């Protein structure tokens, strides 16, 4: 079975579709990557871009659900693209109006993007906010002003950085913008395992204000190297001296040993005996 993923709103997840206009399953030769298509979803008719084409053999139980709700109506024509472009000429004016209403209602909302649906029945407002907010009154006011349904799509601060892009502290384009396909959870446990707590949290956070995604890149290496080190607190021998392991120097493949007289020495792993 062929599944195509269509990106309708840049900040949202792509829609997976398995059927086409004649209610038949999609064939591998029907569409190409980056092709613009008109699709029907549970929300209405939209224009989107094909971002993925894949074949799945085991897709039982999902055909009816996906097939009933979503369908590729046709490839987008020049007329379709022109119509959509004209519709989006209202975009900047609409964003300014939304910002005015948000300010009037004193809501902590930052508008990131606005997308009109192809059929004109709906607009999606992409925004960030410091916390979950009750925007029912805002939606009601916007629906009345724009005379169409309004969908609010809230992004997290990491999602915002990914979509807008920026330059990281390292001087390179943000990893999430440049090549990361999935943003994983970054916990303070990575700071502990990589012995980075002493660096200060401000040096470990990215432009989004969260822990840097790159902390996860070397985690497996640290885990592997740590296997060579004796446990913290364990008693070891270094030559004719005995001591306790009080610190790991993972990258150096050394440990800090405190001897019975209180002296601390750095010892290579291959010089240790238990």
Banded model confidence at residue 62, pLDDT cuts 50, 70, 90 = low
pLDDT higher than 60, residue 64: no
Is 228 part of a structural domain of the chain?
no
Q: Domain residues for 192? A: 177-220
Give 164's contacts (C-beta < 8 A, 6+ positions apart): 112, 177
Q: Are residues 43 and 99 in the same domain?
A: no
Q: Are residues 208 and 241 in the same domain?
A: no
Q: Are residues 40 and 63 in the same domain?
A: yes
> Looking at residue 8, what is its pLDDT?
93
Tell me, what CATH number does 106's domain have?
3.30.300.20
Q: Are residues 211 and 147 in the same domain?
A: no
Higher pLDDT, 217 or 161: 217
**Residue bearing tokens 């990215």:** 206
Number of domains in the chain: 4
Banded model confidence at residue 208, pLDDT cuts 50, 70, 90 = confident
Is 225 part of a structural domain of the chain?
no
Q: Are residues 105 and 56 in the same domain?
A: no
Banded model confidence at residue 177, pLDDT cuts 50, 70, 90 = confident
Q: Are residues 59 and 15 in the same domain?
A: yes
Inter-axis angle of helices 91-104 and 136-146, nearest 10: 140
Is 164 part of a structural domain of the chain?
no
Banded model confidence at residue 274, pLDDT cuts 50, 70, 90 = low
Q: Chain-wide mean pLDDT for the chain?
A: 86
Is 207 part of a structural domain of the chain?
yes
pLDDT, tens only, 186-196: 888 888 888 88
Q: Are residues 66 and 92 in the same domain?
A: no
Q: Are residues 142 and 188 in the same domain?
A: no
**Residue bearing tokens 């195509």:** 4
pLDDT, tens only, 213-271: 999 998 999 999 999 899 998 998 877 788 899 999 998 999 999 988 888 988 898 88
pLDDT, tens only, 36-60: 999 999 889 999 999 999 987 765 5
Q: Are residues 119 and 93 in the same domain?
A: yes
């Amino acid at each position: 079975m062929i599944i195509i993923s269509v990106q309708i709103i840049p900040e949202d997840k792509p829609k997976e579709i398995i059927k086409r206009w004649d209610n038949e399953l999609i064939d591998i030769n029907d569409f190409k990557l980056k092709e613009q298509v008109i699709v029907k979803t549970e929300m209405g008719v939209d224009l989107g871009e094909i971002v993925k084409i894949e074949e799945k053999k085991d897709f039982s139980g999902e055909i009816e659900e996906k097939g009933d709700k979503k369908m590729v109506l046709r490839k987008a024509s020049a007329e379709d693209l022109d119509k959509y472009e004209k519709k989006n000429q209202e975009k900047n004016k609409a964003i300014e109006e939304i910002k005015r209403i948000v300010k009037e209602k004193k809501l902590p909302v930052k508008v990131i993007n606005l997308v009109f649906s192809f059929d004109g029945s709906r607009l999606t407002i992409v925004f960030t906010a410091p916390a979950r907010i009750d925007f029912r009154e805002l939606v009601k006011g916007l629906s009345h002003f724009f005379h169409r349904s309004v969908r609010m799509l809230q992004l997290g601060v990491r999602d915002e950085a990914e979509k807008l892009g920026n330059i990281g502290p390292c001087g390179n384009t943000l990893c999430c913008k440049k090549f990361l396909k999935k943003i994983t959870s970054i916990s303070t446990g990575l700071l502990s395992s990589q012995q980075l707590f002493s660096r200060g949290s401000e040096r470990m956070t990215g432009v989004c204000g969260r822990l840097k995604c790159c902390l996860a890149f070397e985690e497996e290496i640290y885990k592997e190297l740590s296997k060579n080190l004796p446990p913290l607190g364990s008693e070891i021998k270094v030559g004719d001296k005995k001591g306790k392991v009080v610190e790991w120097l993972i990258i150096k493949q050394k440990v800090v040993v405190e001897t019975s007289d209180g002296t601390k020495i750095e010892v290579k792993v291959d010089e240790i005996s238990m």
